[in-house]
Structure 1
Amino acid sequence: MTVRIITDSGSDCLQGDHPQLDVLPLSVGFGTTIYQADVDLSRERFYELLVEGDEFPTTGQVNPYAFSRAIARAQEAGEDVVVITLSSKLSGTHQSACTAAAEAGGATEVHVVDTKSVTVGEHILVDYALRLVDGGRTAAEVAAAVEAAVDRVCVVGLLDTLEYLKRGGRISAAAGTVGELLSIKPAITIDDGEVAVLGKARGSKNGRNLLRQQVENAGGIDFSMPVMLGYSGLSDKLLRKYVEDSRSVWEGNIAEDDIPTLMVGATIGTHVGPGAVAVAFFKLP
């Protein structure tokens, strides 16, 4: 039976990326104006509003009704369903998916997977699921394989500024101000579904070196699995510098121009601001 993958826009996947993929948007609010991420608010326009506007944006989860409609469409087409969501510790979106799955009829199978990740980390798990679908795996096999791979996913990011974490209340105003004065670049990861600080570096170059070191500390990249780079903001200039600085990571494994790259969307972009870079990969088994 055909398998339909449903994910949320926290994965930074786009509708149309794959014929068996549906992407449900989280909401993004600027003041009283509410948008649907990647539907009526492009990522480029989001960053323009983020930088130029006075109001700090808010994000809202995908509700159970949206999941129910997507599941119903798939079941009407005779498709089994695997729903792959952003971390349950970062959003209520996963619970919405579970609610919708529990209420779905039994016409076809419905499975829900918590990626314990977001943006590029969630994205590579969706990519892995689609690879399995293309290989003819059943929905149960896809869900089980993705769940088994969740703990192998490593996400490492480097922020260019602490301003947006400060504005969003994620760090104190005093810590944010000191960090800006010292040009501190924090490296972050997703640890058991939550954002955690890996380390801090003075200046961009030291920050990029820290990012490379963290990739190496993970024990190596499994290049037989999906890998993804991400950047926030309107320019990938800092990401290109990171790729150059970490050439030893890619040489002999993948051409630099062939590394999949995406612009990070509003779900994480709201909190990290422009100028962040990230890499997601599967650790070697």
Structure 2
Amino acid sequence: MSQVRIFTDSTCDLSAELIQNYGIEIVPLYVIFDDQSFKDGHNIKPDRLYHLVEQTGKLPKTAAPSPADFEKAFEPVIHSGDDIVYIGLSSDMSSTIQNARIAADRFPSGRVAVIDSRNLSTGIGLLVLKAVQAAQAGKNSKEVSEMIEQSTAKIEVEFIIDTLEYLHKGGRCSSVQHFFGSLLKIRPLVKVIDGAMTMTDKVRGKRDKALGQLLDNALAQKDIMDNEFLFITHSLAAEEAAFVKEQIEQHTKVKHVYVTETGCVVSSHCGPRTVGIVFAKK
């Protein structure tokens, strides 16, 4: 009897332990500095990314896996007789989903389902874990896909960004905004809304204040949280992530609160000391 195998891409930001324990297959995106091309999570991690940004003074380019990359990843699983559900980075942010669909069309109809997460980071990761649970419970590819497609709009993702430097370098923040934002110590809150990153608030002052706002925003929704999984996702902010995890565990009934680190693609847009809270609504 065929099984359903769950695939995703490196922007899911799941830990190596979760990926291994749940048998998740990862197709990496590319991180490109001039003539150097790296596979996200394979031969480059955020600490090296930040070193190269400091060294070169500019952000890398990022690129989706090609259709050939997806075809190569999918082929052994299809030939083994199993079906695939792939859940990937929002199509508003990347051509990853488009390329996965091109690859899926090269296999018999119905063997590879491609789902646009309408999200990034562990907003994807949370959907992936739900898909794995459904597959392990015996649901077929169509049933898993339908469940995940109904869940995409229920995912809440919010980050506090510590510095405007990376938004400025990436062209998402003007020089004037960068200057006055840095001068006034403004830290933006960013949410994923309708598949895209959207700045929803600007917290002025100490970092603790911004972190408190992020936590308050999540706890204000504790009564409508799905209590199965919640992620604290960070980039070089382990102590603060641990504090947020402790607060979430104290004030909610979530069973599994995971702390994970952002990969290079997300880190290249948000910068160091970013902290995010990700959960599903009931």
- Residue of structure 2 equivalent to 1:225: 228
Query: Could you list the runs of 5+ residues in structure 2 that have no partner in the other structure?
Result: none
Q: Does 1:93 align with 2:91?
A: no
Using a 3 Å threshold, how does the CA distance of structure 1 residues 21 and 177 change in structure 2: closer, same or farther?
A: same
Distance in 2, matches of 1:44 and 1:114, equals: 29
* Per-residue Cα deviation, 1:57-97 (whole angstroms, up to 9, x for no partner): 11111111111122211111100110111100000001001
Distance 2:56 2:189 in 1: 26
1:213-243 deviation line (CA, Å, top 9, x unaligned): 321344645343321111013x412323444
More strand by share: 2
Match of 1:260 in 2: 258
> Residue 76 of structure 2 is aligned with which of 73, 77, 81?
73
Residue-by-residue CA offset, 1:226-266 (whole Å, 9 max, x unaligned) = 21111013x4123234445xx267435258xx621111011
Identify the residue that residue 198 of structure 1 maps to in structure 2: 200
Matches of 1:61 and 1:166, distance apart in 2? 22
What residue number does 1:278 align with? 276
Aligned to 1:236: 238
Q: Which structure 1 segments of 5+ residues have no match?
A: none
TM-score between the two structures when normalised by the length of structure 1 = 0.90
The match for 1:103 is 106
TM-score, L = length of structure 2 = 0.91
Q: Mapping of 1:157-176 within 5 angstroms?
A: 157-176=159-178
Residues 92-115 of structure 1, C-alpha deviation per residue, up to 9 Å, x if partnerless? 001001111122234x62211100
| CA spacing shift, 1:231–1:14, aligned 2, 3 Å | closer
Q: 1:38 Cα shift? A: 1.1
The one-letter amino acid of 1:260's match is: Y
Q: Distance in 2 between matches of 1:226 and 1:141?
A: 21
Residues 120, 278 of structure 1: 8 Å contact kept:
no
Identity %: 27
Query: Are residues 18 and 112 of structure 1, via their aligned partners in 2, closer, same or farther at CA, if it must alter by over 3 Å?
Result: farther
2:9 aligns with 8
Instruction: Report how far residue 127 of structure 1 moved.
Output: 1.0
Contact 1:222–1:281 under 8 Å retained in 2: yes
Query: What is the root-mean-square deviation in Å for CA atoms of aligned residues?
Result: 2.0
Partner of 1:116: 118
Q: Deviations over 1:26-58 (max 9, x none)?
A: 000122111011111133322333344433211
Taking the aligned partners of 1:205 and 1:198, their CA distance within structure 2 comes to: 18
Matches of 2:101 and 2:107, distance apart in 1: 10
Q: Could you tell me which amino acid in structure 2 is paired with residue 10 of structure 1?
A: T
Query: Match for 2:34 among 31, 34, 44?
Result: 31
Using the alignment, how far apart are the partners of 2:252 and 2:278 within structure 1?
A: 18
Equivalent position amino acid for 1:266 in 2: C
* SS at 1:128 equivalent: helix
Aligned partner of 2:185 in structure 1 is 183
> Quick one: distance in 2 between partners of 1:262 and 1:77?
32
Q: What is the aligned partner in structure 2 of residue 125 from structure 1?
A: 127
**Cα pair distance change 1:252/1:229, threshold 3 Å:** closer
Secondary structure of the structure 1 residue equivalent to 2:229: coil
Deviations 1:174-222 (A, max 9, x none): 1011111111111110001000112111121221222123213446453
* 8 Å contact from structure 1 (residues 14, 23) kept in 2: no
